[in-house]
Chain A
Amino acid sequence: MLTDSELQAIWLTVRLASIVTLILLLIGTPIAWWLARTKSCWKGPVGAVVALPLVLPPSVLGFYLLLAMGPYGPVGQLTEALGLGRLPFTFWGLVVASVFYSLPFMVQPLQSAFEGIGERPLEVAATLRASPIDAFFTVAMPLAAPGFLTAAILTFAHTVGEFGVVLMIGGNLPGVTRVASVQIYDHVEAMEYASAHRLSAVMLVFSFFVLLVLYAWRPGAKKGA
């Protein structure tokens, strides 16, 4: 059915999307929490920056990231000074770029989940002796559980579907940066339509089921909350 290089591409895609989702759970949660609760005047600007990848062409984002991570960019100089080498055209460069690219898909569902909880349950927790951190883990997180599920699925799926940023940052190195979407592009370029069909069909079915889970699950989750 699928060739080794195609399986390699799919495996790479899954690995990339999983790592990015995990990293974004760690980074996106505090950002979303802050955005949901702050009264600071920075809320607007920070929210806008987080949302940028939604409207920016992936090539623009990729271009800037490429410059930043390149030998003359600040990130590039930092990684070289730390002895990590350069990020562009590596798997971890792809991870960093994808984290930026998928940030709004993690932050925005979480933010609205946190906002939906409101102030009251946290006030109740405080009157029951729970410190703010304690209340976050024992009240806010359980109440926002449906939001976490939505955010993680959207982030994973969106990372699987990225193409432009990968091409700019990662190029097309088998087993390193050649994810499924790039592989399909390769097949088409080489006029291998049968292979392009197979891989495209896999992606299509995967995407449909991810969204099916998301939309079938949500009403039930809402009722519980």
Chain B
Amino acid sequence: MTGIDARFRLDWPGFTLDVDLALPGRGVTALFGHSGSGKTTLLRCIAGLERAREGRLTVNGEVWQDERHWLPTHKRPIGYVFQEASLFPHLSVLGNLRYGMKRMFDPQRVSLDHAIELLGIGHLLDRKPDRLSGGERQRVGIARALSVSPRLLLMDEPLAALDLKRKQEILPYLERLHDELDIPVLYVSHSPDEVARLADHLVAMEDGKVLADGPLGNTLARLDLPIRLGEDAGVVIEAMVAERDANWHLIRVDFAGGQLWVRDNNMPLGHHARVRILARDVSLSHDKGEDTSILNALPARVTAIADDSHPALALVRLDTGDTPLIARLTKRSANHLALRPGMEVWAHIKAVALIG
């Protein structure tokens, strides 16, 4: 039995967490929302760091909490990465890594060497935490969480305390984690960028409640959600590098609904990549428009139209093959094109971001 069943109700003055979720027991699940949405509290409930009076938690068939049982944190087979690395200041990097390893009760599935290699911290082992940079500290924090061979990895905004450069430094390591280790991850984040890059499954939260929950692609393409994402509204598409045009420094990526030309970033042919298309970068027209600077035009069918946050704007959901897209346009344009569900249009895509 795989999967995480989590039901929690927690009342604090001015805040109520009330969730009932069934999450996949594999891949990366993002708990996404603004600060105060309850995503960290939910993660802490799953770790046993917070105790919801009413709660039920089953992880891959094992009961961690119900009316009668409550497994304390130190007996849960988890790894936890805190927002600040929170390394033990009195121990060296190696001491930090060994702390959990010595106490591990599960069979070892991630060797210390593998964790050290995965996060690239081999040259730091003898240092004390106060001699590390912020990015290095967080990499040690992640390796330390892996050192106990967790059956579930919980990450609470591991990049939020870092500047953009450090984020870029760590993200590749997180992607390797995703690709190389078969450990389900719950990843708390308020950054649409991180979610687009890392998540397979998305739980959007607001005011202690679950707003939307489902596979990343479908959930991002829901029209009730993008309103809250503002400028970050868009979709993420799984694609594969299919062709390289060395002349123009472009590569072609294929996905279920068609193909796109994007800037060559030296990914090898056959590589699986994610493509992010923001709603504001998609415009619509009735014809393909050969004489345009826009490289990518996809035939699509309108499936839904909804109001956006500003009264001048509308969000349009499209299907290209089986892949959903979202376009943001003015209502005047929508009226001018006489858009309605079922209509065939051309989606012109101004910008495509290849993410990992």
A128 and B148 contacting across the interface, CB-CB below 8 Å = yes
Chain B residue at minimal CB-CB distance from A142: B90
Question: Are A126 and B73 in touch, CB under 8 angstroms?
Answer: yes
* Docked-complex contact A129 and B88, CB < 8 angstroms: no
Query: Contacts of A138 on B, CB cut-off 8 Å?
Result: 99
* CB neighbours of A176 from chain B (8 A): none
Most chain B Cβ neighbours within 10 Å, of A129, A130, A134, A138: A129
Contact B82 A129 (CB under 8 A): no
Q: Mark B85-120, 1 if CB is under 8 A from A, else 0.
A: 010111000000001100111000000000000000
With both beta carbons as reference points, the residue of chain A lying nearest to B144 in the complex is identified as: A128
B79/A127 in contact, CB under 8 A: yes
Chain B residues whose CB sits within 8 angstroms of the CB of A224 once the complex forms: 89
- Chain A: how many interface residues by the 8 Å CB criterion? 20
Instruction: Check if A121 is an interface residue, CB within 8 A of chain B.
Output: yes
Closest to A127 in B: B80
On whether the beta carbons of B86 and A124 are closer than 8 Å, the reply is yes
Given known A129-B105, A134-B103, A138-B99, contact A124–B73 (CB-CB < 8 A): no
Q: Are A120 and B99 closer than 8 Å at their CB atoms? A: no
Judge whether B103 and A130 touch: CB under 8 Å.
Answer: yes
The answer to whether B88 and A127 touch across the interface, beta carbons within 8 angstroms, is: no
Contact check, A126 vs B74: say whether CB atoms are below 8 A apart.
yes
Query: Which residues of A are found within 8 Å of B148, using beta-carbon distances?
Result: 128-129
With CB as the reference atom, state the residue of chain B lying closest to A129: B103
Q: Check B90 against A143 for contact (C-beta < 8 Å).
A: yes
A143 engages B89 (CB within 8 Å): yes
Tell me the chain B residues, 133-152 only, with Cβ under 8 Å from chain A. 144-145, 147-148
Judged by a CB distance under 8 angstroms, whether A139 is at the interface is: yes
Per the bound structure, the CA–CA distance linking A225 and B105 in Å amounts to 30
Asked if A129 contacts B104 (CB within 8 A), the reply is yes
Docked pose: A225 CA to B88 CA in angstroms = 10
Q: For residue B48, which residue of chain A has the nearest CB?
A: A126
With A127-B145, A128-B144 as given contacts, are A121 and B86 in contact (CB-CB < 8 Å)? yes
Q: Which residues of A contact B90 (CB under 8 A)?
A: 139, 142-143
Neighbouring A residues of B104 by C-beta, 8 Å: 129
Q: Measured between C-beta atoms, what is the minimum distance from A132 to chain B in Å?
A: 8
**Which of chain A's residues have a CB closer than 8 A to the CB of B73?**
123, 126-127
Interface range on chain B (Cβ under 8 Å from partner): 20 to 34
Task: List B contacts of A123 (CB < 8 A).
Answer: 49, 73, 80, 82, 86
Instruction: Please provide the chain A residues from 92 to 133 with a CB less than 8 Å away from any CB of chain B in the complex.
Output: 120-121, 123-132
| A126 with B49, Cβ < 8 A, contacts A120-B82, A121-B88 known | yes
CB neighbours (8 Å) of A225 from chain B are: 89
Residues of A within 8 A of B103 (CB): 128-130, 134
Interface residues of A in 7-58 (CB under 8 A from B): none
Which B residue's beta carbon lies closest to that of A138?
Answer: B99
Residues in B whose Cβ lies below 8 Å from that of A126: 48-49, 72-74
Distance of A132 Cα from B75 Cα, bound (Å): 11
Of all chain B residues, the one with the shortest Cβ separation from A119 is B49
Bitwise interface map of A from 126 to 167 toward B, beta carbon under 8 Å scored 1, else 0: 111111101100110011000000000000000000000000
In the complex, how many angstroms separate the beta carbon of A127 from the nearest chain B beta carbon? 4
- Give the residue name and chain of the B residue nearest to A131 (CB): B74
B78 proximal to A (CB < 8 A):
yes
Q: Tell me whether B74 and A124 are in contact (CB under 8 A).
A: no
Taking CB atoms, residues of chain B closer than 8 Å to A135 are: 74
Q: Does B235 contact A (CB under 8 A)?
A: no
Residues in chain B near residue A125, CB distance under 8 A: 74, 99
Bound Cα distance from A143 to B129, whole angstroms: 14
Most B CB within 10 A of own CB, among A120, A123, A131: A123
| CB neighbours of B147 from chain A (8 A) | 128
A126 to B99, CA, bound (A): 11
Query: At the interface, yes or no: B354 with Cβ under 8 Å from chain A?
Result: no
Which A residues are CB-close (under 8 A) to B47?
Answer: 127
- What is the minimal beta-carbon distance from A58 to any residue of chain B, in angstroms? 38
Residues of B within 8 A of A143 (CB): 88-90
Contact A129 B89 (CB under 8 A): no
CB contact between A124 and one of B75, B78, B88 (< 8 Å): that residue:
B88
Given A123-B73, A139-B88, A142-B90, 9 other A-B residues pairs in contact with their CB atoms under 8 A? A121-B88, A124-B86, A126-B48, A126-B49, A127-B80, A128-B74, A128-B147, A128-B148, A225-B89
Would you list the 3 A-B pairs with minimal beta carbon distance, nearest first? Answer: A128-B100, A129-B103, A127-B80
Task: Provide a sorted-by-A list of 16 A–B residue pairs whose CB atoms are within 8 angstroms.
Answer: A120-B84, A120-B86, A123-B49, A123-B80, A123-B82, A123-B86, A124-B80, A126-B72, A126-B73, A127-B49, A128-B147, A130-B103, A131-B72, A134-B74, A139-B90, A143-B89
